[in-house]
Chains A and B, each alone.
Chain A
């Protein structure tokens, strides 16, 4: 009996010490791959740390931060003012925003689609339902199948704010759970178009995006994003409630270090500096 007690006590202590070092990271599906790579590499370098990374969407991560359910929130869009208000209501802080990587929002096209270049206005018209046939964009006479993300996705909000300029998506936009599902759908659908992070573009074509009809089109490559030539680039963020200290600070510093930023490039995004 006594022995059991001791074992239980030891187990409890072990669990306690493990819990103390565990950091939870939650949010953007776009950044899920990146977050997981960071966690793996960081844990390899610091065997005493435990980092748990989950996705769900930027909105989910921000909600989790507001509800106190995560230490670090990954978001592919800045926090809105109403979200900051909600955080303030609960924790008397508006949070700390740390840009950790850059991304070009990529528009995926099927490889068999003759259309390769789109202007920002054309993309807007596709997703608001004004343009419904590829013929209107110089392609074949076929209906455009527009794929998007659920409204919990940061990319959904980013595209809505920056390309649709606040307008609503057309009700005909098909929403799929996760960027991988969008890429998969476009890869199988000759007349499909979808959006998501550049890192996921496997088996699909990345559309060259033009600022307007007169300007040249650019692919979302590192050089183009860094030189701000690609018109739809964005920062990817980590949010924490207050200035990071201790274990979390060590992690954030490492992510921003050359070692951490080299993983950004490897995953397919672009370093912040």
Chain B
């Protein structure tokens, strides 16, 4: 009997291990598939006539449907960074500030409903946020700021910020709460007031975690598609102003992949953009995980 249950346990263990492995394997396979579809850019001379690495970076024009197709990545990469920049500029102070308030100053009662409420924000589908930005936010911001183009980088960035805030808030709050009580008590005992303690002691102690939360927010912002597609106007302009319309890498894939026929240079180029995005978010998220890991060990006193 005992033997039998041990065998069963082994079998269950094996099954769980297999499930875990298949998850990793499928992610790997997805990445390989995306890369494979992008490969002709490097191997096929026919594709290279239109789309090659050199061509991607020597023009600032993105005009794939043309008698003379040009695939300049510059406006798309710049667009992605501009939107991400605005989103983080908006989301970091709000996210970290809210986390600081919740963990350090809010009475326990308030804490109990504040955190879940901010986390509900994370559950809003991005298409809803995008639609809100397209209809309401864009008109509001234009009225307040009076710029010419209604759908633009700034509008998309703010809408994206709403999607990023929960990520930054949750992880920052966890990091702040994890700071040992003894640190705070020592600071208060030395005569610092609660604000000085929060700002000068708790926040610096949790900085690795906060940085990690920002990196995870960055990863989310770079890859987010629906909000940007709906709110940014998608004009492939190569300008520095955040009040111009802009086109991001992810929105370009979403908007154009439906149209292309297999094997077209345009098709391969879109998959190349996919590879680029995948790699970017992978490294950003990897950096964030490493930081969280370090923080955990530091707080456990192992570093």
Contacts and interface: CB of A to CB of B under 8 A. Distances in A.
Contacts of A176: 151, 230, 233-234
A150 B151 contact: no
Given A150-B255, A171-B238, A172-B245, A143 B148 contact: yes
Given A143-B148, A181-B134, A175 B255 contact: yes
Nearest to A189: B150
A188 B258 contact: no
Interface string A145-160: 1010011100011001
A168 B63 CA distance: 8
B62 interface: yes
B291 interface: no
Contacts of A199: none
Contacts of A59: 258-260
Q: Is the interface of B mostly helix, strand, loop or mixed?
A: loop
Given A59-B259, A184-B135, A151 B233 contact: no
Contacts of A157: 65
Nearest to A169: B63
Contacts of B62: 171
B150 A60 contact: no
Contacts of B279: none
B61 A171 contact: yes
A168 B62 CA distance: 11
B151 A174 contact: yes
Contacts of A169: 63
A142 to B, nearest CB: 7
B268 to A, nearest CB: 15
Contacts of A173: 235
A57 interface: yes
A95 interface: no
A169 B66 CA distance: 9
Identify which of A60, A67, A142, A151 gathers the most chain B CB atoms within 10 Å of its CB. Answer: A151
B236 interface: yes
Q: Is the interface of A mostly helix, strand, loop or mixed?
A: mixed
B139 A188 contact: yes
B64 interface: yes
B193 interface: no
Contacts of B66: 168
A186 to B, nearest CB: 10
A160 B63 CA distance: 12
Contacts of B75: 171
Nearest to B70: A168
A56 B258 contact: yes
Given A143-B148, A151-B65, A192-B150, A86 B261 contact: yes
Nearest to B244: A172
Contact of B259 (A63, A142, A189): A63
Contacts of B61: 171
Nearest to A188: B139
A191 interface: yes
A66 interface: yes
A33 interface: no
A171 B63 CA distance: 8
B148 A191 contact: yes
B229 interface: yes
Contacts of B134: 181, 184-185
A139 to B, nearest CB: 14
A90 B288 CA distance: 48
A229 to B, nearest CB: 30
B55 to A, nearest CB: 16
Interface string B232-266: 01111110000001010000000110111110000
Nearest to A82: B261
Given A57-B259, A67-B262, A145-B148, 20 more contacts: A59-B258, A59-B259, A63-B260, A67-B261, A143-B149, A147-B233, A151-B255, A151-B259, A152-B256, A157-B65, A166-B67, A171-B62, A171-B75, A171-B235, A174-B233, A175-B235, A175-B247, A175-B255, A185-B150, A188-B139
10 contacts: A63-B259, A152-B256, A152-B258, A156-B65, A171-B238, A173-B235, A175-B233, A176-B234, A188-B139, A191-B148
Interface of B: 61-67, 75, 134-135, 138-139, 148-151, 229-230, 233-238, 245, 247, 255-256, 258-262
Top 10 A-B pairs, shortest CB-CB distance? A152-B259, A174-B233, A59-B259, A151-B65, A150-B255, A175-B234, A143-B148, A60-B258, A174-B235, A189-B150
